[in-house]
Structure 1
Amino acid sequence: MHYQGNIIRPPSEADSIILQVTVGCSHNRCTFCGAYRDPEQKFQIKDEGIIDLDLEFATQYCRKLKTVFLADGDALVIPQQRLLNLFRRIRKELPWVRRISLYANCRSILKRSPNELAALKAAGLGRIYMGLESGCEQVLLEIKKGATAAEMLAAGRRVREAEIFLSVTCLLGIGGTVYSQQHAEDTAAVLSQMQPNQIAVLTLMLLDNTELGRAVHEGRFQLPDQIGLFQELRTMLARLADFRCQFQANHASNYFALAGRLPKDREHFLATIDQALAGTARLKPEWLRGL
């Protein structure tokens, strides 16, 4: 495979064919993200000839892998007809593949009409991963996410209406100590209206090569302590409406793991968080946490 720069994928795509069709992120302004900060690495849609070579490689060496993930940060930015042609090539050359997935930001989703998303689903798009991060308007503004809470909600609903599986990521701690509880409450409110198929909760890890990391060193941002992070998670879970979805807070960045289904497992999750708040839960040491 011809990979350029950092290749980022969701944990649930660990057993997928990772087909890099774009390099970097089309937005690349979020203050917390350091994945694509190499000044020499500009965002681009990869040449079709290189993608063809990668597909040829997959036909020979990836026959046991049943899903494809299109990297990098926002493959949905690829023009509609070109993306449809790519899906058709995947289905023709990798006929054993049962699902295609990709990251998509809010803007790229909203640029697609409902009919265009439906066409992508019919061509094989089975899952979209969208980074909500927070439902708090002020937090979204300060982290330079490039979308309002209302736009995030509209994008999520558009994916759901197209009957494409929607996985939404949220970040504990992204509001700092100033907006901690507001972040948790507003995120729960947006998720309750959006009703994604999957919620993935990560914990913010500060990186030196990011604007937010520099803000910490300069005293302009303070990450909540463990108790504050656990309280955010508890508030978020407790305030979620009763809709069916997968819920995961088992990323390497988290201090303890939650994984199951809502609303069925809510009380079990809350009990586990209460143990962490009481200091009786076994927590992951800092050296084992990662992105």
Structure 2
Amino acid sequence: QRITSYSRSRTIVRKPETDLEKIANAGLDRLHIGLETGDAALLKKIKKGATPEDHVKGGQKAMNAGFQVSEYWMPALGGKAMSYDHAKNTAIILNQINPHYIRSRPFTPRPGTIFFEKASRNELERLTPKEQLLEIKQTLEALNVTSRICFDHAGNFWKKSNGRLLLSQSYEGYKFPEEKKSLLALIENNLRGTG
């Protein structure tokens, strides 16, 4: 039986390591942490309340205390204007953390949120599905981790030419670096219209 919890990077940073170890030893196995992005400007824009450095310290500290760590990143969060920096800097931070799991949760503005209002007023130029997939590819290309990369969410909706889902929605995902090349080839073929 696995016991998991959501946590914030800054909360982990503030906790003494001995307290974290006690919690892990008491039976909490895994922490799910919302990284969202590794880009400092975008973190500030979304009012995350954490810096890239907080995320690195929090993720590393959690693993040192004995937790499995699952980091969540949000493709397309920066829209077209910040897409490249979002992809590049997210990979940089994830490389420094090297968590057990990296989970893709593509950005979708929800009604009633400031991002939905901005998108409605064309102040946030959203990525097309193909541009989202390209951004994911850019992030994956820059990853040098031993993590499992997971697309276990309905937001990862891209389809193959035969109508089936492009990316496995297995909870365990793709093992890096072993499956990195084949995953990138799968995405590249789809972007070219051949897969």
Q: Report if TM-score (shorter chain) is over 0.5.
A: yes
Counterpart residue number, 2:88: 185
Counterpart residue number, 2:65: 162
What is the letter of the counterpart of residue 71 of structure 2?
A: V
Tell me the distance in 2 between the aligned counterparts of 1:224 and 1:190.
22
Tell me the distance in 1 between the aligned counterparts of 2:186 and 2:2.
34
- Superposition deviation, residue 226 in structure 1: 1.8
1:1-291 superposed matches below 5 A: 98-241=1-144, 243-254=145-156, 255=158, 256-258=166-168, 259-281=173-195
- Superposition deviation, residue 278 in structure 1: 1.0
- Superposition deviation, residue 219 in structure 1: 1.6
Tell me the distance in 1 between the aligned counterparts of 2:82 and 2:167.
24
* Number of equivalences: 183
What is the letter of the counterpart of residue 114 of structure 1?
A: E
Tell me the distance in 2 between the aligned counterparts of 1:192 and 1:152.
12
- Superposition deviation, residue 167 in structure 1: 0.2
- CA shift digits 1:155-192 (9 cap, x unpaired): 11111111200000001100110110110000000000
What is the letter of the counterpart of residue 279 of structure 1?
A: G
- Superposition deviation, residue 122 in structure 1: 0.6
User: Larger relative CO (CA 8 A, sep 6+): 1 or 2?
Assistant: 2
What is the letter of the counterpart of residue 140 of structure 2?
A: L
Secondary structure of the residue that 1:196 maps to in structure 2? coil
Secondary structure of the residue that 2:109 maps to in structure 1? coil
Runs of 4+ in 1 over 2 A off after TM superposition: none
- Superposition deviation, residue 234 in structure 1: 0.8
What residue ranges of structure 1 are gaps of 5+ in the alignment? Answer: 1-97, 282-291
What residue ranges of structure 2 are gaps of 5+ in the alignment? Answer: 159-165
Q: Is the radius of gyration larger for structure 1 or structure 2?
A: 1
Secondary structure of the residue that 1:200 maps to in structure 2? strand
- Superposition deviation, residue 211 in structure 1: 1.1
Secondary structure of the residue that 1:103 maps to in structure 2? strand
RMSD: 1.2
Counterpart residue number, 1:14: none
What is the letter of the counterpart of residue 230 of structure 1?
A: L
Tell me the distance in 1 between the aligned counterparts of 2:152 and 2:30.
20
Check whether the contact 1:127–1:164 (CA below 8 A) recurs between aligned residues.
yes
Secondary structure of the residue that 1:172 maps to in structure 2? coil
TM-score w.r.t. structure 1 length?
0.61
